[in-house]
Chain A
Amino acid sequence: MNRLDELRGPVPSRAHDARAIAALAANPGCARRALMDAAGVDKDRTARHLGFPAPFGQSQFAITRGNVFEALVKENGCAELLRLLRELLGLPVAQVGYQDVESVGSHLRHSHTRTLIDRAARENDDAAVFYDHPLFSLEIAGHTSYLEPDVVAFQLGGRFRIVEIKSFGVIDGQAEPEKVAAAARQAAVYVLALRTLLADLGHDPERVSHDVVLVCPENFANRPTATLVDVRKQLAVLKRQLARMTRVDRLLEGLPQGLTFDLVPDADGVPTRSAEDLAGALGQVPARYAPDCLSTCDMCMFCRDEARGCGSTDLLGRQVRDQLGGVSLMTEALGLAEGTVEPAEGQEEVARLLRLADRLREECLN
């Protein structure tokens, strides 16, 4: 059996959605996450079973709002979207075709997407076409992941663009930077998937523009507005990260025999493995917890608890760790500051600084 399948146990590999793929780049140094993702382990389920569910939830209001706005933009064969693109890109297009890939059965959607994109790339005629609900695939650590973007691919003259519809507002030309950044990271995944598809079909992948179209509500109204977002940087990060993941063999080499993250589900799918045993297995693979994980990774609460347990300075974030000269254990850093631990070679400088900091605090507070 494949070592990755063994890690996951006898359940189907969990598909990565674009959000998950985009998040891979968030903490590339974390072996635990890299391995769990490569093996397609359901991290959310694992975290729940361990008693450390991630604090991510989505409000029904947010979901409704997103759907309503998307429907509005796509109404009447994307009529509104065409208007926006015409203004944004200065397109001399009066009419546009609309292909809803979802019209075929779900098992056919991927091949249907391929056929449509192939035909468009081949024919090179002047007709503009929107492809709604395309189904892309991307190879992740040797596994094919299917991506079901809530995006539209737009094609004109054999050139393609990803259009991403988001429901956060753009007020007087400004939106929340974190939200734009997250949208750009996701859009980069789609650009990469579409480029991979074109390359696969023997076409020039550069036909997919690195400028994606972001459609958001303008000001406080429901009226959409479109902006071009350059995702070259996000693409580079993503490619590098995916390339790393294919080298997951190296991570696998050091693993103990028989190690698995299998939840051992019974006939009804209820996990039967003890949480303690599972935690022990996870503990065999080092994690690299950082406070940023709290907003990106399903395993965050488990890893934070672990970091607390061993008194790691990672808990306080990169900035603090840098101030402590990279000393990884709190007891060690405190010992250096209070003079109870002799600095190891190379630690003299940080020890001097911490001791001085300790003296200054004493002096000012007492």
Chain B
Amino acid sequence: MSALTALAQLRAIRDGAAQRITTVRHCHIAPRPMVFIPLRLAGETAAPLAAMVGADPDHPRLLVVPQPRNRDLRFAFAAGLAEVLLPYVEGFGKTTETVEKKGGEPYERCLDAPQILVPNRSAAAFVALLGRSTRFRRADGPYPVHPSVPLLGRWLTYFADRSQQPGSSLLLVATEALSMHWATGQSGLEDANLAALLGWIAPPPGMSGRRAAEEAEDPLLWPPAGPTTDPGFDNEVLGPAVRAYEEAPTDRAVERVTQALRTQLEPTWRLMWRAARLLRELPEGRRVKDRWDTDRGSFTRFAERIAEGGPPQARRDGAVGAAARLAGLERARASYDVQRAYDDPLVMAEYRLTGEAFSGTVTGADPEHTEGEGRSRKLRPLITVRTEDPVRLAAGTTVGSPDRRGHAAEIVEIADGEITLKITKGMGRGKTPAPGAVPEPGERVCYTSLTDDFQSSAALPDPERTPWTHGGPPEEYVPSDDDAQEEWS
């Protein structure tokens, strides 16, 4: 939260409409994403009640558990979900490209990857729970399930894990993706309601965003986007329908539950596609593609792991695994923040506000300035930039610029809004700088101390060398019969 966003929120209230807080889109939106809206039975940890799922806005698949406390019906639900999700996911594994890696073996990467859209963070958490409750099952043994169920569990676990990764778009949470690009006139807590959030961003014609958001809070007009259902609906509609099914599990009873749940899911289904469309209409940031490449690589590796018959993800990470994961998340966070600022002047403005970046006009340039004598003589062009930004950078700080890739400079002096910079990188190998490498007088430039330099991964021991302070080497996880037969009641 910055003063910039706070200001945008105030404007949103005054104008009755959401305000942009980015100039470009910072997440990947697939041409054909799969929308998944799960519902859970109230009071239960992971009892699926229904889901609307599919990659075609006009043909959603509605999956329903007419008696959510029935174990067999739950696994039938999981198998139904697998039937929709697995062909979609596996379809992307078929076409690959060969990626040449500097100083490494070339490797295969899928040309595209799946993208799952869920309405809110709770739905993403529910995806993880569904994954946890199905990935250890087996198709043989005492409580056999359909072979697709454990596979589904592993994929759901993968997607839920991946959604923790800053900058990943494999599983995208709609409310978070929208809030990242628009500021509304309501609090963050209220922004978690997809209907209200979209009300602010794209109200129906002739209605203010504020009014649309108020309307969206009425569960009768806009049922909650799940996974928790509206208590009023549970008590008045769903309860009697489930009881009728218990008394006589006929097709008609199933139909009654199905119809009831359809009314709860359809509005959100439409909202989800609207959210996808709104996001897609935003121009894509330059580095979104790079991050999607990383996503594709991650997806490919996981698909390979499954193909090789690797075991399902363990219940908990070992000490080394957990530390590595945490370090990875921190690096991804830092890199993601920098990348967004480089892609988007409005995000960079947040750093200009705090003095970590500045923007201004070049007032003077000495492109052929050199340092040193004889063999150690180096080209170090100098420029001066006039800025009105409150710069809080010290002389000697290395800065980069979103205007030129590979460009780096060092701050020489700051005086009265005039900043002298010495360019240290990105001007070619010649005696004079490459054309365009040194900003010319009159040019508008931006520099910042944020840099997305490569950070090597944390030095961690191999899992088998986990020190005793961290419990010693973890026992290797071997899926047991108990795991496969775990109750799901």
Contacts and interface: CB of A to CB of B under 8 A. Distances in A.
A72 to B, nearest CB: 11
Interface string B448-489: 000000000000000000000000000000000000001111
Contact of B7 (A64, A222, A291, A337): A337
B7 A220 contact: no
A365 B346 contact: yes
B129 A171 contact: yes
B189 interface: yes
Nearest to A174: B316
A158 interface: no
B45 A360 contact: no
Interface in A130-188: 167-169, 171-173
B46 A324 contact: no
A364 B346 contact: yes
B12 to A, nearest CB: 9
Given A220-B133, A320-B1, A323-B6, A291 B316 contact: no
A345 B3 CA distance: 20
Given A61-B234, A320-B9, A220 B3 contact: no
Nearest to A62: B43
A206 interface: no
Interface in B340-376: 345-346, 349, 352-353, 359
Interface of A is mostly: helix
A55 B230 CA distance: 10
A317 interface: yes
Interface size of B as a range:
35 or more
Nearest to B184: A316
A292 B345 CA distance: 33
Contacts of B442: none
Interface in B184-216: 185-190
Given A220-B46, A330-B14, A361-B7, A315 B133 contact: no
B489 A220 contact: yes
B276 interface: no
B8 interface: yes
Interface stretch (A196-204, A257-265, A351-359): A351-359
A63 B13 CA distance: 39
Contacts of B129: 171
A222 B289 CA distance: 46
B345 A364 contact: yes
Interface in A308-352: 311, 313, 315-317, 319-320, 323-324, 330, 333-334, 337
Interface size of A as a range:
35 or more
A361 B187 contact: no
Contacts of A317: 187-189
Interface in B211-249: 217, 219, 229-232, 234-235, 238-239
B448 to A, nearest CB: 14
Interface in B47-95: 68
B2 interface: yes
A319 B1 contact: yes
A40 interface: no
Contacts of B190: 291, 294
Contact of B234 (A59, A167, A313, A360): A59
Q: Which of B185, B231, B488 has the most CB of A within 10 A?
A: B231
Contact of A171 (B14, B45, B187): B45
Given A220-B489, A333-B10, A360-B349, A294 B46 contact: no
Given A60-B234, A167-B43, A315 B13 contact: yes
Contacts of B316: 172-173
A169 B6 contact: no
A357 B353 contact: yes
Contacts of B185: 315-316
A220 B217 contact: no
The 4 A-B residue pairs with the shortest CB-CB distance, nearest first, are: A169-B45, A62-B43, A57-B231, A221-B487
Interface of B: 1-11, 13-14, 20, 23, 41-46, 68, 129, 132-133, 185-190, 217, 219, 229-232, 234-235, 238-239, 315-316, 345-346, 349, 352-353, 359, 388-390, 486-489
